[in-house]
A and B are shown apart, each in its own frame.
Chain A
Amino acid sequence: MRIGKLIFLLGCTASLAAQVTDKQLLEAPGANWLHYNGSYDSRRFSTLAQINTRNVNELAAKWVFHVPGAGGLETVPIVVDGVMYVTQPNEVYALDARSGRKIWEFHHVGPSADRGPNRGVGIYGDKVFFTTPDAVLIALNASTGNEIWEVKLAEPEEGYWSPAAPLIVKGKVIVGVAPGDRGLNGILDAYDPVTGKRLWRWSPIPKPGEPGNETWAGDSWKHAGEDTWLTQSYDPELNLLIWGIGNPSPDFNGDVRKGDNLYTECVVALDPDTGTMKWYFQFTPHDVMDWDAVEIPVLIDAPYEGKMRKLLAQADRNGFYYVLDRTNGKFLHGSMFVHQLNWATGLTPEGRPIRVPGVEPSLLGTKVCPSSLGATNWMSPSYDPQTGLFYVVSIEGCGIATKSTEQFRPGGFQYRATGDVLIHDDSWKVYVRALDMPTGKLIWEQERIGNDFWGGGVMSTAGGLLFSGEWNGQFVAMDAKTGKILWHFNTGQHINAQPITYSVDGEEYVSLAAGGDVFSFGLFEPGKTAAK
C-alpha cells in the first residue's frame, strides 16, 4: 500500500462520489430501491423476477442486521448500488446490502428521541436525507455519513416532529411533519438538497381570506391539525405532487370546528416547482374519527371504462376504496373494501360520503365502524400491473367512540377530545385483500390469522409474488394472482414495516425490518462456500 500515492491522489482529485440522478429516481424499482414507496407512482411493484412463484420456496435468510437499541422499526430500506440505508429515530445506518455489514452510522443528538418512528431516508446526488424527532432535516454524505447540513422544519418545543422519509422531486427535498393530534397545523416544505435552503412551504390550513377558510367555524382553523406524516407520490408527466393530508383537531369532537375543514382528509395536487395547489379531493369532510387521509395514493395509467386514463387509486382509512382522475382530482369510483362500515351508506356521484346520522363519537359512546385505527392505515398498498390488482392490508373492526370538551393547550399536548375503545371480538380480523383496480371488487383475500394488529404493508414483483409482513412476525410470500401462500419465515418479532427487493451483482434479495432487526433473504445456494 503506497500511502504517499494515496495522499497525493487526495490532494489532486476532485471528489467524485456515487451519484443518484433525477433519471434514476424516475425508474421503476429494479436493482435499486430508491424511494420509500419504490417509485414516484408508489405502486411498490418491482421489475425483478429472479425470485418468482416457482422458486420462492427456496428463499433463505442471507443476513440479519440488528439496529442497536431498536424495537418496532418502521424503516423502509433504501438501496443504491449495493448500499442499503436504514433508520431509527435520530439514527441512520449504511449497510453492505449483500452481507449486512455496517459501513457507517450517524447519530443526531436531539432533545426528544422518544418521538418515533422514523420511516427511512431519501437519496439524491451524493447525499441521504432524513428527518428527526425534533423536526430537523439532515443531509449526510451517502458514502461516509458525514453531516453536510441541517435545517429546522418546525418548533419541536411546540410539539412538532417528523417521521416520514423525504421524497426527492426535481432536485427538491420534500418533507412534512407530524402529528395533527396535538392541534398543530401542518406544513409541507421543499428544500434545496445542496444548501438546505427552503424553496417553498405549503400550509394545508387556509388562513382568513384564503379559499377554504370558510370551512372552519370561527377561529378553529388556528389549532386545526392536518399533518403530512407519510411519504406520498409524484407524477412527472403532469408535474404534480400528489399528497394525502391528515386529520382535523380536535380529532373526535367536531362541534368546535363546524364545516368541511379543508384541506384535512384530502388528497391534494401541488406544483412541485412552487408549492401551489392545483386541485384537491376530500375523502372525509368534517372527519370526527381521526381517519387521516395519508394512505398512499397509487398512480396508475390504465383503461377505465374503455378509455386510457391517468388514475389515482387510494384505499382510505374511512373504509372506502377510491379511483380518481389525477389530472383534475375528479371522483370516478368509490366502494367499500371492508364489510364492517356503518358510518356511511355509500358515496354521492361526486364522491361525498352519505353519512348515517348519529354514527359518530358521542358523550356516552357510539359504535363506529371502522374504528379510529381505520380500515387501513400507514402500511403501504401495492399495484401489480401484471395482475391489474390493488393490494391492501385491511382491518375489519369497530370501536366505541366517545367525545368530550377539550381546550387546546400549547406545548405539544394531545388535543383529541377522547377517542374510541376497540372492540376486539370475533369479528376483529386482519386481511391482505386484492381488489380489481378499476372496480374495487374483491378478487381474493388472505386472512392474517392470529393477528389483531396491522403488521407491515405489501410489495408485488414481476416474479408474480406479493410479499407481506405480519404483526405476529411471519414474513409471507403469496401468489399475486390467487393469494395462495408459497413461502413464510418467522422473524420472531413484530413486523410493522413494508418489504422491499433489490439486486446486487445479479442476485435478487428481499428485505424488511422486523422488530429491532433488518432481514435480507435470497435464493438458497447449496454450492456456494464462504471462504476466507
Chain B
Amino acid sequence: MNIRNCCFVIGFVLAGFGAAPQVPRQANPLGNGSDVVQAGRALFNKTCTGCHGVDAGEGSRGPALAGERRFFRLSDGAIFGVVKNGIPGTAMPGMGLKDDDAWRIVAFIRNLRGTASDNDVPGDVEHGMTVFKGKGGCLACHMIRGEGGTIGPDLSSIGAQVSLAHLREELTHELPIPQGYAPVHAVGPRGEVVDGIAKNDDDFSIQILDEKNKLHLYDKSTLKALTYAKHSLMPHDYDKLLTPEEFQDLLAMLSKQTRVKVHIAADRENEAGR
C-alpha cells in the first residue's frame, strides 16, 4: 500500500471514528496557547515522527498530518481518542501517553492546520506595521484596512486566511503566481502600452489592472502584443532584506490581520465527522 492509500484509509477510519455518536465533541481542556502547542510539538517529535515525520510533514508509514485536510474536521475529542487509543485494525497504535500529554499533541496537530492568527506569534506588532509601511515597501502593492496599493492582494484578513508556515514562505520563497495577479505587458489597439496584472483572461478577452489602479479591458483580437511574465511581482527575500527582528515583527503583525474571520465560521460548520 502506498502512502496515499494509507492516508486515505486512516483518514476514512478517523472520520468514521469522529462521527460515532458515543464520542463527545470535547474541546481541549488545556486550550491551544503557544506553550501547549510547543509542548505538544516536542512530544510529537519525540513520539510520533517514526510514522508521521518531523512536524507531521513527511509521513513515511503514516499520513503527513500537516497536509491532510480531513483530519482537521475532527473535533479535539476525536483526535484525542485516536492518540490515546489508536485505531484498531490499522498501524496506528495507542501511544500509552498520559491524558495531558495526549491533549498537548492534540493542540499541536490542530495548530498545524490553523491559520496564522491561531498562533500567538511573538513580535512587536506596531513595529511590524512600521516595517510594512517603511523599509519593507509592502504598502505600495498591498492594502490593509483601506490603506495601501491594489496591485497585490488585500492583506486585511491574511492572518485568518493562511497558515503561519505559508505566510513565512510567501516572504522568503518564490511561489506560484496567485490567480488574478499574473503580471502582463500589453500593447493596445491604439499603440498604448499597459503594464499591470491580469485580473482575469480567457481565449478572447483580458482584464488588466495597471499600477495606477485603472482597469483596461481588451478584446484579445485587438491587441498588438501581449506577454505574460513568468514570475510574481512579490519579492521573496525579506529574510535577507530585513533584520531578524524586523522580519519577526512583520510576521507577527501580518498574523494578526483578521478583518474577516472566515475560518471561524467554517470550523463551526465542519464539526467532527461531517
Real complex partners, A and B?
yes
Asked whether, in the complex, the Cβ of A532 is within 8 Å of the Cβ of B231, the reply is no
B154 within 8 A of A: yes
Alpha-carbon distance A243/B207, docked complex (angstroms):
38
Asked whether, in the complex, the Cβ of A96 is within 8 Å of the Cβ of B217, the reply is yes
Asked whether, in the complex, the Cβ of B137 is within 8 Å of the Cβ of A103, the reply is no
Asked whether, in the complex, the Cβ of A143 is within 8 Å of the Cβ of B213, the reply is yes
Contacts of A18 in B (CB 8 A): 213-215
When C-beta atoms are compared, the residue in chain A nearest to B137 turns out to be A11
Stretch of B29-37, B112-120, B144-152 lying at the A interface: B144-152
Asked whether, in the complex, the Cβ of B214 is within 8 Å of the Cβ of A16, the reply is yes
Stretch of A1-9, A269-277, A451-459 lying at the B interface: A1-9
Asked whether, in the complex, the Cβ of B217 is within 8 Å of the Cβ of A83, the reply is yes
- Smallest CB separation, A358 vs chain B (Å): 52
Contacts of B229 in A (CB 8 A): 1, 3
- The interface bits of chain B over 207-220 (1 if a CB of A lies within 8 angstroms of the residue's CB, else 0) are 10101111101011
Asked whether, in the complex, the Cβ of A1 is within 8 Å of the Cβ of B228, the reply is yes
Asked whether, in the complex, the Cβ of B183 is within 8 Å of the Cβ of A147, the reply is no
* CB < 8 Å neighbour of A109 from B149, B228, B261: B261
Alpha-carbon distance A18/B262, docked complex (angstroms):
30
A202 within 8 A of B: no
* CB < 8 Å neighbour of B211 from A9, A98, A149: A9
When C-beta atoms are compared, the residue in chain A nearest to B259 turns out to be A147
- Smallest CB separation, B12 vs chain A (Å): 29
* CB < 8 Å neighbour of B213 from A102, A139, A144, A148: A144
Number of A-B contacts defined by CB within 8 Å: 119
Chain A residues 93 to 110 lying within 8 A of chain B, measured CB to CB, are 96-99, 101-104, 109
Alpha-carbon distance A101/B220, docked complex (angstroms):
13
Contacts of B233 in A (CB 8 A): 3, 6-7
Asked whether, in the complex, the Cβ of B150 is within 8 Å of the Cβ of A144, the reply is yes
Given A1-B185, A144-B213, are A532 and B199 also a contact pair (CB < 8 Å)? no
- Smallest CB separation, B48 vs chain A (Å): 35
Asked whether, in the complex, the Cβ of B183 is within 8 Å of the Cβ of A1, the reply is yes
B270 within 8 A of A: no
Asked whether, in the complex, the Cβ of A101 is within 8 Å of the Cβ of B200, the reply is yes
Alpha-carbon distance A3/B199, docked complex (angstroms):
17
A348 within 8 A of B: no
Alpha-carbon distance A97/B151, docked complex (angstroms):
21
B141 within 8 A of A: yes
Asked whether, in the complex, the Cβ of A147 is within 8 Å of the Cβ of B156, the reply is yes
Alpha-carbon distance A149/B154, docked complex (angstroms):
13
Alpha-carbon distance A216/B265, docked complex (angstroms):
43
Asked whether, in the complex, the Cβ of A147 is within 8 Å of the Cβ of B213, the reply is no
When C-beta atoms are compared, the residue in chain B nearest to A532 turns out to be B203
Asked whether, in the complex, the Cβ of A143 is within 8 Å of the Cβ of B203, the reply is no
- Smallest CB separation, B149 vs chain A (Å): 6
Asked whether, in the complex, the Cβ of A532 is within 8 Å of the Cβ of B221, the reply is yes
A407 within 8 A of B: no
Chain B residues 175 to 224 lying within 8 A of chain A, measured CB to CB, are 180, 183-185, 195-196, 199-205, 207, 209, 211-215, 217, 219-221
Contacts of B215 in A (CB 8 A): 18, 81-83, 103, 143
Contacts of A139 in B (CB 8 A): 146
B143 within 8 A of A: yes
- Smallest CB separation, B176 vs chain A (Å): 16
When C-beta atoms are compared, the residue in chain B nearest to A108 turns out to be B260
B227 within 8 A of A: yes
Asked whether, in the complex, the Cβ of A147 is within 8 Å of the Cβ of B146, the reply is yes
Contacts of A5 in B (CB 8 A): 195
Asked whether, in the complex, the Cβ of B231 is within 8 Å of the Cβ of A3, the reply is yes
When C-beta atoms are compared, the residue in chain A nearest to B216 turns out to be A82
- Smallest CB separation, A198 vs chain B (Å): 17
A112 within 8 A of B: no
Asked whether, in the complex, the Cβ of B199 is within 8 Å of the Cβ of A104, the reply is yes
- The interface bits of chain B over 121-146 (1 if a CB of A lies within 8 angstroms of the residue's CB, else 0) are 00000000000000001001101011
Give the size category of A's interface with B: 35 or more
- The interface bits of chain A over 129-172 (1 if a CB of B lies within 8 angstroms of the residue's CB, else 0) are 00000000001010110111100000000000000000000000
Asked whether, in the complex, the Cβ of A10 is within 8 Å of the Cβ of B211, the reply is yes
Given A101-B205, A146-B154, A530-B204, are A6 and B211 also a contact pair (CB < 8 Å)? yes
Alpha-carbon distance A101/B209, docked complex (angstroms):
14
A531 within 8 A of B: yes
Alpha-carbon distance A148/B145, docked complex (angstroms):
6
Asked whether, in the complex, the Cβ of B219 is within 8 Å of the Cβ of A98, the reply is yes
Contacts of A7 in B (CB 8 A): 140, 233, 235
- Smallest CB separation, B31 vs chain A (Å): 25
Asked whether, in the complex, the Cβ of B154 is within 8 Å of the Cβ of A147, the reply is yes
Contacts of B235 in A (CB 8 A): 7
Contacts of B207 in A (CB 8 A): 96, 101, 103
Asked whether, in the complex, the Cβ of B212 is within 8 Å of the Cβ of A99, the reply is no
When C-beta atoms are compared, the residue in chain A nearest to B147 turns out to be A148
When C-beta atoms are compared, the residue in chain A nearest to B264 turns out to be A109
Alpha-carbon distance A9/B183, docked complex (angstroms):
14
Contacts of A445 in B (CB 8 A): none
Chain B residues 51 to 109 lying within 8 A of chain A, measured CB to CB, are none
Alpha-carbon distance A18/B209, docked complex (angstroms):
11
* CB < 8 Å neighbour of A17 from B143, B203, B212, B260: B212
- Smallest CB separation, B65 vs chain A (Å): 28
Given A98-B205, A147-B156, are A13 and B211 also a contact pair (CB < 8 Å)? yes
Given A1-B184, A147-B146, are A13 and B212 also a contact pair (CB < 8 Å)? yes
* CB < 8 Å neighbour of A10 from B151, B154, B200, B228: B151
Asked whether, in the complex, the Cβ of A15 is within 8 Å of the Cβ of B154, the reply is no
Contacts of A82 in B (CB 8 A): 215, 217
25 contacts between A and B (CB under 8 A): A1-B184, A1-B195, A1-B228, A3-B229, A10-B211, A11-B140, A13-B211, A15-B212, A15-B213, A16-B213, A81-B215, A96-B200, A96-B217, A99-B217, A99-B219, A101-B200, A101-B201, A101-B205, A103-B209, A139-B146, A143-B215, A146-B143, A146-B154, A147-B145, A530-B204
Instruction: For the A-B complex with A1-B229, A3-B233, A144-B150 known, give 17 more contacts whose Cβ atoms are closer than 8 Å.
Output: A1-B228, A6-B196, A6-B233, A7-B233, A7-B235, A10-B141, A10-B149, A10-B211, A82-B217, A83-B215, A96-B200, A98-B217, A101-B201, A103-B209, A104-B199, A144-B209, A530-B203
Please list the 8 inter-chain residue pairs (A to B) with the smallest Cβ-Cβ separation, ordered nearest first: A17-B213, A1-B229, A99-B205, A148-B146, A1-B185, A531-B221, A144-B150, A146-B154
